[in-house]
Amino acid sequence: MLKAGFARLPIAPPLGITITGYYEPRVAKGTLDPLFVSATAFSDGESRCVLLCLDAVGIRQATLDGVRERIGKNVGLPRAAVFVTCTHTHTGPEIDDGLFEPDPGYNQRLEKLMEQAAQAALDDLKDARILAADGRVEGISFIRRFRMRDGSTRTNPGYGNPDIVAPVGEPDYQLKIARIVREGADEILFVNFQVHPDTIGDCMGSVELFSADYPGFVVRTLEGALPGVKAVYLNGAAGNLNHVNVFKPDWDPNGGYEHTAHMGRAIAGEVLGIYTKARTVESERGVRFAETQLPAPANKARPEQLPLAKDYVEWHRTGRGDLIPETGMGITTLVAEATRMLALADAPDNFLLNMTALSAGGLCLAGIPGEAFTEVGQRVKANSPFPQQMVLGISNGYEGYFPMREAYEEGGYEARSSSFKLGIAESIAEAEAELVRTLWEG
């Protein structure tokens, strides 16, 4: 018999630590809305696993491997049974995403809170059945890469830019829900959609307040509308998606908290619309989990490129960005590319990426350790044998961008900043699809 448990704890970071999400450091001066870790446990009587969802931008794989190992040891699970995903809010605390130095004291406390939430969820196991439904949300998620009149491809070229020809790609508008209905306990509601949670501040990071961004509004709206339901927002493959509609400059040119609320309520509204249409998916398959490592060649620079890369990073760090031959998002692209070049200069030629998945009955969650293009998520979902397949980005690692092969030829922020050579996105899609098939076949 399938069982499920739930727990949620606040992870309130102290003021004065770094807010991450941009290449500009920000010091936390307050809180717009609270941040949480939500834990969902599954058991079939023999196998157990736990999903931890954090309001955070991401945690690097090297750090998270140790965290998962220690949490698993303390709650009686193997590492592969501890699945950690992040919503990717750009107004959360620096934990370890590779941009700034984390606060060791806070990270120790956070790990303990994650462990406590995991244990509480395992202690809360109740008989459960899973219902699933799919919906569609348009008008809040947009491709952020555009072909320009000069033939180049640019990321976030600006509202109403007259040189825009067309977006490069199509968003994934699919929304998926899983209702985990428990006997004598609150229902757990998984919501899986894909768009960057980066709607509150401008691109230079002026906001110095903690916020869960639109995923927080999804959760609060649903729990307010559905008494006895605990909602968990699971962000999908959104590496080339954001909230910016460049063709409607009056829509909401600066993002902001009101637009954040709009996005969260739009997603929650579709969930409410399909909530009672959810149908039971089989649960006899039990609880399964798996983890493999995918070899990933490093996207190293040529030696002659490093001196200029050092200049770009130094100019940006010291407030001399006007020396960088670009404007707007173009500056961010060059700085990100330079940062990647310097970071990989002495790195190994190949990395190993965590490919992870867990399933409970007819529900499967596939975890990608970074920001995959939305096409990756679509491929995994389309090829899955599970009645309800969700794809989760920023899961069990945060290793940057995984662009599709053609993006390396087109250019733009994501490909130029990626730590991995072209072909990485296609390899991830294939590896995750194989892992999902392995869980299905048992």
pLDDT score for 283: 74
What are the domain boundaries of the chain? 3-136+170-287+381-403, 301-344
CA distance 126 to 261: 33
Of 42, 374, 36, 371, give the one whose Cα is nearest residue 219: 36
- pLDDT tens track of the chain, all 442 residues? 899 999 999 999 999 999 998 888 899 999 999 999 999 999 999 999 999 999 999 999 999 999 999 999 999 999 999 999 999 999 999 999 888 889 999 999 999 999 999 999 999 999 999 999 999 999 999 999 999 999 999 999 988 899 999 999 999 999 999 999 999 999 999 999 999 999 986 543 468 999 999 999 999 999 999 999 999 999 999 999 999 999 887 766 657 888 999 999 999 999 999 999 999 998 778 999 999 999 999 999 999 999 999 999 999 888 898 898 988 888 888 998 999 999 999 999 999 999 999 999 999 999 999 999 999 999 999 999 999 999 999 999 999 999 999 999 998 899 999 999 999 999 999 999 999 999 999 8
Burial class (CB in 10 A: 0-12, 13-18, 19+), 221: buried
Of 286, 4, 287, 280, give the one whose Cα is nearest residue 126: 4
CA distance 201 to 204: 8
Element (H, E) at 146: strand 145-148
CA distance 434 to 305: 38
Phi and psi angles of residue 428, each rounded to the nearest 5 degrees, phi first: -65, -45
Note the pTM of the prediction, 2 decimals: 0.95
pLDDT score for 203: 41
Residue with tokens 């995923």: 215
Of 45, 5, 37, 57, give the one whose Cα is nearest residue 116: 37
**What distance, in Å, lies between the first and last C-alpha atoms of the chain?**
17
pLDDT score for 204: 39
Looking at residue 66, the DSSP 8-state letter turns out to be: H
Phi and psi angles of residue 162, each rounded to the nearest 5 degrees, phi first: -70, -10
Looking at residue 162, the DSSP 8-state letter turns out to be: T
pLDDT score for 252: 66
Helix-, strand-, coil-residue percentages of the chain, each rounded to 5: 35, 30, 40
